[in-house]
Amino acid sequence: MAEAAHFDSATIAAMKMALDDAWDRLGPELQATMLKTTLAERILKSASRGERDYERLRDAALRDIAA
């Protein structure tokens, strides 16, 4: 079984900010067809690899999405 990732409060705040910013950057048509959890999963994956920068977390969420 995979070990659960633990994030400090600063990392959690950066992930939340990155998620909200990424979601806001999507147009209404993409928001209507995409789940916010998809962006969250991308951010979690990047953070679990050690990324802590809010802008890079946001960019990881938006990668490969045609806006």
Q: How far apart are CA 30 and CA 1, in angstroms?
A: 34
> So what's the pLDDT on residue 5?
72
Q: Which amino acid is at 4?
A: A
47 pLDDT tier (thresholds 50, 70, 90): very high
> So what's the pLDDT on residue 8?
94
Q: How many domains does the chain have?
A: 1
Domain annotation covers residue 67: no
Q: What is the mean pLDDT of residues 9-32?
A: 96
Domain annotation covers residue 2: no
4 pLDDT tier (thresholds 50, 70, 90): low
Q: Which of 10, 36, 9, 15 is nearest to 25 (CA)?
A: 36
| Residues spanned by the domain of 58 | 9-62
Domain annotation covers residue 58: yes
| Two tokens, residue 66 | 């045609």
Domain annotation covers residue 3: no
> So what's the pLDDT on residue 56?
97
